[in-house]
Amino acid sequence: MLGKIGLEEHFAIEETLGPSMGFASARVGFKEKLLDLLEIRLDLMDKYGMDMMILSLNSPAIQAIYNKQEAIDVAKKANDIMANAFAQKPNRFRGFAALPMQDPDAAIEELHRAVDELGCVGVLVNGFSQIDDKDNIVYLDDPRYRPFWAELEKSGKPFYLHPRKMHPKNAGLIDGHPWLDGATWGFTVETATHALRLLSCGIFDEYPDLKILIGHLGETLPFLVGRIDNRMNIVRKAGFGPPAQKPFYEYMAKNVWLTTSGQFQTAPLLATMMEFGSDKIMFATDWPFEEVQEACEWFDACPISELDRQKIGRDNAIKFFGLDL
Ligand code: GRE
Ligand code: ZN
């Protein structure tokens, strides 16, 4: 399929490169691919039929800069560099802004600057933030973020919840099993749990028009949300349910969109389509941690209707972001 739009397409700047180089995907030339904005990736996009990449910074990047002022400065710098790329090639690139969640007021300010001045189509945050100290980790359901969610809802822009590695104090679960860390499994546990915290905390009752994007076909949640709600009913009746008023499925169906990043498997895609419909799913590669070629060749050939391929590959994104393509 020609004209695909990808939603999880990463780059780095020198200041955020470090942690990404530790991954097994850090092959020869990997650093160049991550730092590149307009050359290597454009060639790949042309070759495999991608019209557009919605760019985002690598992980954990800003969320791991526990000095607040530094987090603010690096986020601004990264957003400016990214915006320069999409200003040069507006038909090929857009971007999700990085945000310094260490300081909720500064995050709100950068949200407005990124959307109103730079033209970002949304924001992407890499899970929990380390604040002031590397061991002080804060998740997005924390009450300090309520004003941020209010402003985000007003902006009408989506929030992409992207994985990061578990903090050592939570990683006892995979202690001695480093091969289960990162994108193998640790990212999924961390991010699905974080998403469930958000679905639990009541923000979707308070701000019913929030739009959340979750990659990797929803980090397993489309396969588990039925069971989670069944059990949650019992928990609610027993008097220790969450602040959220509705079944999680309803928030997933209304407030959450899913992407195919790093999940180039037909059966999970079909299951996700059966659970939430093809309007809620959008194409993504996860470049350069995954290959554009593999993502595109799988998607172009996977056995779905051409109508669904067009929606997931392109049209849903045009509608979702209001792109003028
Ligand atoms: C990512 O998407 O950010 C990522 C990493 C490291 C390995 C795989 C991966 O940061 O998808
Ligand atoms: Zn990613």
Q: Is 229 exposed, middle or buried (0-12, 13-18, 19+ CB in 10 A)?
A: middle
Consecutive H or E run containing 123: strand 122-125
DSSP code string of 160-208: EE---PPPGGGGGGGTT-GGGTGGGTHHHHHHHHHHHHHHHTTHHHHST
DSSP code string of 47-86: HHTEEEEEEEE-SSGGGG--SHHHHHHHHHHHHHHHHHHH
Ligand 1 in reach of 30 Cβ (< 6 A):
no
Ligand 1 in reach of 288 Cβ (< 6 A):
no
- The answer to whether the Cα torsion of 190, 205, 312, 161 is positive or negative is negative
Beta bridge mates, 138: 129
Ligand 1 in reach of 182 Cβ (< 6 A):
yes
In this prediction, residue 141 carries a pLDDT of 98
Measure the CA–CA gap between 282 and 275, rounded to whole angstroms: 15
User: What residue's CA is closest to ligand 1, atom 11?
Assistant: 289
Half-sphere exposure for 253 (CA within 13 Å, toward CB): 11
Closest ligand 1 atom to residue 24 Cα is: 7
Closest ligand 1 atom to residue 60 Cα is: 10
pLDDT digits (tens, 9 = 90+) for 172-211: 999 999 999 999 999 999 999 999 999 999 999 999 999 9
Q: Strand pairing of 137-138 and 159-161?
A: unpaired
Contacts of 195 (CB under 8 A, 6+ apart): 161, 212, 214, 218, 219, 221, 256
- For range 296-310, the mean pLDDT: 98
In this prediction, residue 97 carries a pLDDT of 99
Mean confidence (pLDDT) of the chain: 97
- For range 55-76, the mean pLDDT: 98
* The two three-digit tokens of residue 70, written as one number: 């530094």
pLDDT digits (tens, 9 = 90+) for 73-112: 999 999 999 999 999 999 999 999 999 999 999 999 999 9
Whether 286 sits among the annotated catalytic residues: the reply is yes
What CA dihedral angle connects 233, 235, 237 and 243, to 10 degrees?
Answer: -90
User: What residue's CA is closest to ligand 1, atom 3?
Assistant: 59
In this prediction, residue 19 carries a pLDDT of 85
In this prediction, residue 20 carries a pLDDT of 86
Percent of the chain scored above 70 by pLDDT? 99
Ligand 1 in reach of 262 Cβ (< 6 A):
yes
Measure the CA–CA gap between 277 and 73, rounded to whole angstroms: 40
Among the bound ligands, the one closest to the CA of 186: 1
- For range 293-307, the mean pLDDT: 98
Q: Of the residues 141, 286, 308, 315, which is catalytic? A: 286
Confidence class for position 24, pLDDT limits 50, 70, 90: low
pLDDT digits (tens, 9 = 90+) for 232-280: 999 999 999 999 999 999 999 999 999 999 999 999 999 999 999 999 9
Residue of 20, 125, 287 best suited for mutating to test ligand 1, as the one with most atoms within 8 Å of CB = 20
In this prediction, residue 18 carries a pLDDT of 86
In this prediction, residue 101 carries a pLDDT of 98
- Cα 133 from chain centroid? 24
Does the structure show a pLDDT above 80 at 288?
yes
Ligand 1 in reach of 183 Cβ (< 6 A):
yes
Asked if the bond preceding 268 is cis, omega within 30° of 0, the reply is no
Does the structure show a pLDDT above 80 at 27?
no
Please tell me the pTM assigned to this model: 0.98
pLDDT digits (tens, 9 = 90+) for 119-152: 999 999 999 999 999 999 999 999 999 999 999 9
247 CA distance to ligand 1 middle (Å): 30
Ligand 1 in reach of 188 Cβ (< 6 A):
no
In this prediction, residue 26 carries a pLDDT of 66
